[in-house]
Amino acid sequence: MPRNLEKRFVEACFKWNIPVKRSHKRIYLEDLKGEFTYSPDFIIYNNQIIEIKGQSDLRWVRKMPFLKQNNIIVLYEKDLVNFENTGEINE
């Protein structure tokens, strides 16, 4: 994923005065196909985990059920544009 999207997210957080920090977590998961890891991108003010995603691939599709179960917000580029313009994250 282009770092540009992550940079834009952080800049929008600063613009809208939303505290943000880089997540340094690595989460180990397991499904029927075996073990895999997930590293979230950011954590914002209310400990909400945010994942910035440019494009989906097979590895990403495998992680989606975990993200949904754990209320992790995924922002695609169109969502990021909305956030940049409004300061609102639509879940």
pLDDT tens for 50-76 read 888 877 767 677 778 887 777 888 888
pTM for this model (two decimals): 0.79
Q: 């169109």: which residue's tokens?
A: 78
Put residue 44 in one of left, alpha, beta given phi > 0 → left and psi -120 to 50 → alpha: beta
* 16 pLDDT higher than 60: yes
Backbone angles phi, psi at 79, to 5 degrees: -70, -35
Distance, in Å, from the CA atom of 72 to the CA atom of 64, rounded to the nearest integer, reads: 9
CATH number for the segment(s) 3-84: 3.40.960
**Cα 28 from chain centroid (whole Å):** 17
HSE of 22, CA atoms in CB hemisphere, 13 A = 5
